[in-house]
């Protein structure tokens, strides 16, 4: 009896991950994606797996963490270092979902059950999972009829939607201050126009959606942003002619993300598949080695540990000729990101927008005269290429305006002069969550500017109200 009980207990225990271990996503060399593939099927073709590499990183000591799944990738380690979350697919015709497994090994457990699948796991405070859903078809990431949105999911709770863009929101990572950084397209009116990609942030309740970087110099490809130990944000970037499953590594500094875009490494970084930070300031980079002097001509992605001041990439930390090691992250406990008290009021039908001065802008006004705006027109995106004008509200003499607007729908703004001419235009590029109170300084105001210390005249009056189904203005 005792021996039987002991064997049951032992069967439920998993080996721990030794210090210095790596969790790695590997794809088999030369395996094509399946027919009717999704973006994840292309990234992680059949046989792709998530494994644990233990020091000294030999190919004969690999532990498979995604055992039982037909494909897996994109691992994310929990803040306490005990769990690994990843994208996984249980059968050829199943949707991709998020799974978790003990960092030392065991049976993967499905965490999400999203219609159309889920991808890109990231972890916020208190065990909260952030991910994108649905998983678009291959080649349709930015043209899918149903764009991928960000969701949050607390343990044992239902998921809640966070983003309401007309374009997909993907590649989320949680910053140390608790904000969620993600990739989406630069807002535009023409749904069929070419997409330039940018970085955005939101709080983990979907409030305060804010442009973060690359809005003024958007590129055709941005993937896998990560916050490094020194606070910089690293990401993969490429132009259209360079597009593929890889890019060069760039970064921006958090104090001035719009003005500090540069290469992360001092050496050529084309062919990089991912970068991940380490506690000591080094970076784990998965880079293709084909064509390099002294390396195999077969396009194999290997893992490198790169110091911040490295002049060259050096020798691989791990290289398996049968597998592309495309993503690697260290198994270690880290500081949990800051928590956030939600400003969302469940069930509230509107949020409030306050603009301090719609005439304060870094962009010149259009129209026949530079006269100040007298009205603010608000419109909503109600489908691809479809917009509905909600109405117009008066602008106070100091340029301020306050208005209550519908929630969880993309909103855009026009400032108008006394003759109704458009002075400045903002495509449907932001939203309000239920009960959210949101303020902005101006219309396309200069970056890193603080507002003047004065009470906006608009706040002395009752806010105007514009509804999605009844575009009337309440005096």
Do 248 and 288 share a domain, yes or no?
Answer: yes
Pair 357, 247 in one domain: no
Give the pLDDT confidence score for residue 296 in this predicted structure.
45
210: in domain: yes
Same-domain check for residues 321 and 447 = no
Residue 342 maps to a domain: no
- Is residue 338 included in any domain, yes or no? no
Query: Smallest Cα–Cα separation from 344: which of 129, 164, 122, 146?
Result: 164
pLDDT at 268: 84
Q: Would you say residue 1 lies in a domain?
A: no
**pLDDT attached to residue 465:** 94
Q: Do 78 and 208 reside in the same domain of the chain? A: yes
Residue 28's domain is classified under what CATH number?
2.120.10.30
pLDDT of residue 244: 52
Q: How many domains does one find in the chain?
A: 2
DSSP state of 137: B
Give the model's pLDDT for residue 240: 58
Instruction: Please check whether residues 184 and 66 belong to one and the same domain.
Output: yes
Task: Tell me if residue 457 falls in helix, strand or coil.
Answer: helix
Last residue of a domain, one of 330, 358, 388: 330
- In 3D, which of 186, 206, 43, 222 has the Cα closest to residue 119? 43
The verdict on 246 and 363 lying in the same domain is no
pLDDT of residue 150: 98
Report the CATH number that the domain containing residue 374 is assigned in CATH. 2.60.40
| Spatial contact of 122 and 78, defined as CB atoms under 8 Å apart | no
What pLDDT was estimated at residue 304? 96
Write down the pLDDT at residue 360.
81
Instruction: Tell me whether residue 8 is in a domain.
Output: no
Of the residues 301, 330, 359, which one is the last residue of a structural domain? Answer: 330
For residues 446 and 362, what is the distance between their CA atoms, to the nearest angstrom? Answer: 5
Same domain, 321 and 206: yes
Q: Are residues 299 and 364 in the same domain?
A: no
Q: What is the pLDDT of residue 446?
A: 63
pLDDT on residue 294: 40
Same domain, 314 and 354: no
Quick one: which of 200, 272, 266, 263 has its CA closest to 234?
Answer: 263
Per-residue pLDDT, 248: 87
pLDDT, position 243? 45
Per the domain annotation, does 194 fall within a domain? yes
Which of 299, 330, 361 terminates a domain? The answer is: 330
Q: Are residues 378 and 296 in the same domain?
A: no
Residue 130 domain-assigned (yes or no) = yes
44-50 contact pairs (CB < 8 A, 24+): 44/71, 44/72, 44/73, 44/74, 44/87, 44/89, 45/71, 46/70, 46/71, 46/92, 47/71, 48/72, 48/73, 49/25, 50/23, 50/24, 50/25, 50/26, 50/75, 50/84, 50/86, 50/88, 50/101
pLDDT on residue 236 = 94
Residues 185, 254 within the same domain: yes
In the predicted model, residues of the chain with pLDDT beneath 50 are 1-13, 241-243, 291-297, 470-475
Q: Is residue 335 part of a domain?
A: no
Q: Which two tokens stand for residue 372?
A: 């100040």
Alpha carbon 125 to chain centroid distance?
Answer: 16
Structural domain range at position 354: 350-465
Tens digits of per-residue pLDDT, 109-133? 999 999 999 999 999 999 999 999 9
200 with 264, same domain?
Answer: yes
**Structure-block tokens of residue 228:** 């490094």
């Amino acid at each position: 009896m005792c021996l039987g009980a002991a064997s049951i207990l032992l069967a439920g225990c998993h080996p721990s991950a030794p210090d210095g271990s790596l969790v790695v996503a590997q794809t088999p060399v030369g395996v094509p994606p399946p027919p009717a593939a999704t973006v994840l099927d292309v990234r992680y073709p059949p046989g792709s797996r998530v494994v644990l590499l233990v020091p000294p990183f030999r190919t004969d000591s690999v532990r498979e963490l995604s055992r039982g799944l037909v494909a897996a990738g994109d691992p994310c380690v929990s803040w306490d270092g005990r769990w690994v979350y990843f994208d996984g697919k249980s059968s050829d015709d199943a949707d991709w979902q998020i799974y978790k497994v003990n960092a030392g090994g065991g049976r993967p457990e499905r965490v999400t059950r999203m219609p159309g699948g889920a991808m890109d796991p990231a972890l916020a405070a208190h065990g909260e999972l952030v991910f994108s859903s649905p998983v678009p078809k291959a080649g349709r990431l930015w043209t899918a009829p149903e764009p991928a949105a960000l969701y949050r999911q607390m343990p044992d709770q239902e998921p809640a939607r966070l983003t309401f863009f007309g374009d997909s929101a993907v590649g989320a990572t949680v910053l140390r201050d608790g904000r969620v950084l993600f990739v989406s397209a630069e807002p535009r009116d023409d749904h069929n126009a070419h997409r330039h990609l940018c970085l955005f942030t939101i709080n983990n309740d979907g409030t305060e959606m804010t442009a973060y970087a690359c809005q003024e110099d958007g590129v055709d490809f941005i993937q896998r942003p990560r916050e490094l130990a020194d606070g910089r944000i690293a990401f993969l970037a490429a132009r259209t002619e360079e597009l593929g499953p890889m890019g060069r590594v760039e970064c921006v500094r958090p104090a001035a993300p719009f003005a500090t875009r540069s290469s992360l490494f001092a050496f050529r970084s084309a062919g990089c598949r991912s970068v991940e930070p380490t506690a000591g300031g080094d970076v784990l980079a998965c880079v293709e080695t084909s064509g390099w002097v002294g390396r195999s001509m077969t396009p194999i992605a290997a893992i490198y540990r790169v110091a911040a001041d490295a002049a060259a990439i050096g020798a691989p930390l791990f290289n398996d000729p049968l597998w592309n090691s495309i993503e690697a992250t260290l198994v270690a406990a880290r500081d949990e990101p800051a928590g956030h008290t939600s400003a969302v009021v469940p069930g509230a039908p509107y949020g409030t927008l306050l603009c301090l001065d719609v005439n304060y802008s870094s962009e010149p006004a259009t129209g026949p005269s530079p006269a100040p705006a007298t009205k603010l027109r608000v419109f909503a995106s109600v489908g691809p290429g479809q917009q509905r004008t909600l109405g117009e509200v008066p602008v106070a003499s100091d340029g301020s305006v306050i208005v209550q607007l519908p929630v969880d729908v993309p909103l855009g703004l026009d400032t108008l002069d006394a003759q109704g001419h458009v002075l400045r235009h903002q495509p449907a590029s932001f939203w309000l969550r239920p009960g959210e109170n949101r303020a902005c300084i101006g219309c396309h105001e200069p970056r890193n500017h603080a507002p003047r210390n004065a009470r906006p005249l608009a706040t002395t009056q009752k806010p105007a109200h514009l509804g999605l189904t009844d575009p009337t203005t309440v005096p």
